[in-house]
Amino acid sequence: MTSANSSSPEAIQRLLDGPALTPPAGVEPDFENPGGFKGTIVGFEVLFMVISSLAMIVRLYTRLRIYKKVKLDDYLAVLGWFGYLWLLITSVRGLNESSGIHQWNVQAKKMEGFLYHLHIIVIMYGIDMFTIKFSILLQYVALFSPSRRDTFFWSCYFLIGLNFVTYTTFVILEIITCQTTLYTRSQRSRCMDFRTVNLATVAVNTASHIAILLLPQAIIWRLRLTFSKRLGISLVFAVALLACVASVVRLYYAITQEKSSDITWYVGLNIVLIYPEIGFAIITSCLPSFPKFFRTIFKPPSPPVVASKYFFPTHERSLGRQGTPLDSVDRLAAGIEMQTPSSVRKGETMFGEADFVERSDSRR
């Protein structure tokens, strides 16, 4: 009789209307004012979507209007931005209501949709992060090693392959070990523990972020430029450090909260850090376009062509003997920007690498 009553529609409804997790002793569930840090999550969503979107606009304007040439890394960057937007929309639709709230302040009936959208976001995150890193590493090759297959070139492609294998593995595991599909939801669905997947993903992600951060630094600091210019170029690429910081903090919470049963709180801690992590990664992929963009938009009036021809002939001829065109010197003064198609054909980078970069591996 007791069993029959406990499985009655009224009893099931009471369970669904009750807390999704037994609260600690002395704590009463509060569904009306659950507290938490939902406001912080929303703020991060808006902030990093706006910043990354502005960075992407600058990149696309530079590529389409100034250089009038779009390459594979540009397409990948745009795809990564759209993936970021899709992830944000999915989060707003399915996670924001309960994320960052202690699970005993969330009704049990809301957990089905929450876990369903979490499953989708885990898959989307792996695909989107790989796409953005692929774009960054292809851009590294175009900037620093456009015409020769040296150690740097193969290091970039090794990281591309390693990231592809890693993220593909995590995505496949998430799909095949979870009975909830993208088309149906079931209260009886059983998925791999999100915390286990998250800990492994964040650990590999952090190592990958650090590798991408450090990879161009050795080349930058061998440029034959003043210390201040090398420092400026290094800091442009060091924006990736901010993505590393977000990933390291995620790793900390993934380790310390691994045994926690408070899933909604745990997911909130991760979501609030995923936005700056992906956002800074997108910004990192766009920053090399910024100097050219701002110099083009705010450039002073150019001197007459005749004056340039007759008053600077010696300077121009000396540059020609060095094999570095006049615009390469201009780019050196600016610090950093994307290389032009002609410079790629001549085997030079945006830094005039043929004359200004000392590479230990070039003597091998």
Tell me the domain boundaries of the chain.
36-295, 302-363
- How many angstroms separate the CA atoms of 296 and 67, rounded? 11
- What CATH code would you report for 36-295? 1.20.1070
How confident is the model over 149-170, as pLDDT tens digits?
A: 888 899 999 999 999 998 998 8
pTM above 0.85, yes or no: no
Region 268-273: what's the mean pLDDT? 87
Report, in angstroms and rounded to the nearest whole number, the Rg of the chain calculated over CA atoms: 26
> Is the predicted pLDDT of residue 111 greater than 80, yes or no?
yes
CB 220 within 8 A of CB 233: yes
357: which strand partners? Answer: 223
- How many angstroms separate the CA atoms of 316 and 60, rounded? 32
Reference 40, options 236, 220, 243, 268; nearest CA is 268
Region 234-239: what's the mean pLDDT? 78
> Is the predicted pLDDT of residue 45 greater than 60, yes or no?
yes
- Residue 235 binned pLDDT confidence (cut-offs 50, 70, 90): confident
CB 212 within 8 A of CB 235: no
Predicted local distance difference test score (pLDDT) of residue 193 = 63
H helices present in the chain, as ranges:
2-6, 9-17, 38-61, 72-94, 111-144, 151-176, 194-214, 217-220, 227-237, 240-256, 263-286, 290-297, 305-311, 313-322, 326-334, 341-345, 353-356
**Residue 361 or 175, more confident:** 175
Rounded to whole angstroms, what are the CA distances from 28 to 31, 180, 336?
10, 32, 58
- Residue 308 binned pLDDT confidence (cut-offs 50, 70, 90): very low
Best-predicted range by mean pLDDT (32-41, 328-337, 346-355): 32-41
> Is the predicted pLDDT of residue 31 greater than 50, yes or no?
yes
Predicted local distance difference test score (pLDDT) of residue 351 = 39
Predicted local distance difference test score (pLDDT) of residue 32 = 84
Q: For 38, what's the count of Cα atoms within 13 Å in the CB-facing half-sphere? A: 16
Predicted local distance difference test score (pLDDT) of residue 173 = 82
> Is the predicted pLDDT of residue 302 greater than 90, yes or no?
no
- How many angstroms separate the CA atoms of 221 and 337, rounded? 16
- How many angstroms separate the CA atoms of 200 and 49, rounded? 26
> Is the predicted pLDDT of residue 266 greater than 80, yes or no?
yes
